[in-house]
Amino acid sequence: MQVYNTLGKTKEEFTPLTGREVGIYVCGPTVYDLSHLGHARTYIAFDMIVRYLRVRGYKVCYVVNITDIDDKIIARARELGEAPQALAKRFEAEFFTDMDTLGMLRADHYPKVSGHMPEIIKMAERLLEKGYAYRAGGDVYFSVDRAVGYGRLSGQSSEGMLTGARVDVNPAKRNNLDFALWKGAKEGEPAWESPWGPGRPGWHIECSAMGVKYLGEQFDIHGGALDLIFPHHENEIQQSEGATGKGPFVRYWLHTGFLLVKGEKMSKSLGNFITVKDVLRGHDPEALRLFFLSVHYRSPIDFDYQNLQSAEKNLERLYNALNFIDRIEKSTDEIKGIKDILELYKKKFYSSMDDDFNTSKALSHVYELTGEIFKIGPKAKADDLLSLREFLGEVGYIFGILQREPQVRGLEEALRALAISLGTALAAATDYRGAIEAVIAARETLRRGKEYAAADRIRQELMGMGVILEDFKDGPVWRLKRSARDASS
């Protein structure tokens, strides 16, 4: 298996540190607002990578941190007149709801900054003892002049880094590239006790301290989107290797490309973001996953609703293939050779996935195979059909799709009956999605009229049809129930 390593800027053979065990750390969200599609793009990519490694027989330990102490959280809390910790807790809960809705596997650990002060302080102390850091008043800075090979991940010179993103100019620093390990407390900000007086950690140190704690002083994979290469990941390398005296801190650095809107990065600060909740109001989470995974994880991807619709069509095509296989009666004039076709496509699929998780190419092979299924499926032997079903099951697991309960087939009929009982016209609904929206709109009318019992009955009825409906402050979000395997993972 080959993976593209940002460290060497080339594809390398993937060899974990210890046998079949893989430790993977992905920089998680700063919980001061709702997750947007940019976050979803990155986390869906790593979710696929974790799933694929597991299918490949690796025992994966997956860690995603939660940044619950940060300048942006403090600023937002001030704006809203809320305590920073309360705000962070609220958005952490929203993050988990969104990730669950997107069918993400839960990570093995979600460490939070607020729960790891002793580890963070200890690492800063070690860096001071070893001369990699210095104190300036109540602050502690990492000294880039003491660093070994600073810039090796981002491949930049000092001048390049100085003009790069997020470098604060501060008279207390010896070098403008130096970065804070600890920030002395400021009036009205949350603070923790430390050997340097009350304060809070700088941003980068949390990932070094928590990475080392959960995955060891050296581990296999570290990820995030491209914007984290510099300074965040560059600084993590320096802090971790400086403190532990061991290198490399991480063997493979994997970075996702940006989700763009009209060519620009989707971000909170540009105001061009669409939240996960917003998009899932009228679209299937599986279609969103397929939309992202149709493009290689390192390539940029432009979001627009038209492309999402074509992902919806492709998803339907895959479901149709599954349903088609399930309906094939055992053929009397079985033909041979289907096994060979399946083996061929399986090989192509896995070799694409082994090539730096090339989901885009792997999917094109799956689509070709489904074309074959429609042609020759009716003449397949029973055990070949079973193998086909199993393969599509594997594809579904790796991509986090095809997990809907099979009863969805009868969904439109059931919705129509429900709509009639509510006196709602489904004329405008062109498919089951539109029908669900129409029923939900009727339910919203009931809710506005405070007829909560009736509204709840509709929610129950939808649940019985395999449609899960959740009410959020800014409106309901629905999704189709997935199989037990996905729900329990």
| Residues lying near ligand AMP in the complex (CB under 6 A) | 27, 29-30, 38-39, 41-42, 224-225, 227-228, 256, 258-259, 265-267
For Zn ion, the binding residues in 152-211 under the rule CB under 5 A are 207
In angstroms, the CA 181 to CA 242 distance is 13
Nearer to ligand AMP, 265 or 365 (CB): 265
Q: Which does 259 bind (CB under 5 to 8 A by kind): Zn ion, ligand AMP, none?
A: ligand AMP
Nearer to ligand AMP, 99 or 369 (CB): 99
In the complex, minimum distance from the CB of residue 411 to ligand AMP, in angstroms, rounded to a whole number: 33
Q: Which does 77 bind (CB under 5 to 8 A by kind): Zn ion, ligand AMP, none?
A: none
Q: Which does 39 bind (CB under 5 to 8 A by kind): ligand AMP, Zn ion, none?
A: ligand AMP
Q: Kindly state the helix (H) or strand (E) to which residue 288 belongs, with its residue range.
A: helix 285-293
CB 54 within 8 A of CB 60: yes
Residues 6+ apart with CB under 8 A from 445: none
Nearer to ligand AMP, 225 or 287 (CB): 225
Q: Which does 225 bind (CB under 5 to 8 A by kind): ligand AMP, Zn ion, none?
A: ligand AMP
Number of other residues whose CB lies within 10 A of the CB of residue 57: 7
Nearer to ligand AMP, 266 or 318 (CB): 266
Number of other residues whose CB lies within 10 A of the CB of residue 421: 10
Nearer to ligand AMP, 208 or 256 (CB): 256
In the complex, minimum distance from the CB of residue 228 to ligand AMP, in angstroms, rounded to a whole number: 5
Helices (H), 117-171: 117-129, 158-163
In the complex, minimum distance from the CB of residue 98 to ligand AMP, in angstroms, rounded to a whole number: 12
Sign (positive/negative) of CA torsion 107, 113, 119, 125? positive
Angle at 447 between CA 103 and CA 443, to 5 degrees: 60
Nearer to ligand AMP, 29 or 231 (CB): 29
- # binding residues, Zn ion (CB under 5 A): 2
Site string for Zn ion, 27-46 (x = CB under 5 A): x-------------------
Nearer to ligand AMP, 38 or 377 (CB): 38
List Cα–Cα distances, 166 to 31, 178, 454, 488, in angstroms: 19, 12, 53, 40
Q: Which does 207 bind (CB under 5 to 8 A by kind): ligand AMP, Zn ion, none?
A: Zn ion
Residue 283: which of 97, 425, 431, 408 has the closest Cα? 431
In the complex, minimum distance from the CB of residue 477 to ligand AMP, in angstroms, rounded to a whole number: 21
Q: Which residues pair with 61 in a beta bridge?
A: 23
Nearer to ligand AMP, 128 or 225 (CB): 225
In the complex, minimum distance from the CB of residue 47 to ligand AMP, in angstroms, rounded to a whole number: 13
Is residue 140 classed exposed, middle or buried when 0-12, 13-18 and 19+ CB atoms within 10 A define those classes? buried
Q: Tokens in use for 107?
A: 């990570």
Q: Kindly state the helix (H) or strand (E) to which residue 269 belongs, with its residue range.
A: none
Which residue number is nearest to ligand AMP in terms of Cβ?
A: 38
Residues that bind Zn ion (CB under 5 A): 27, 207
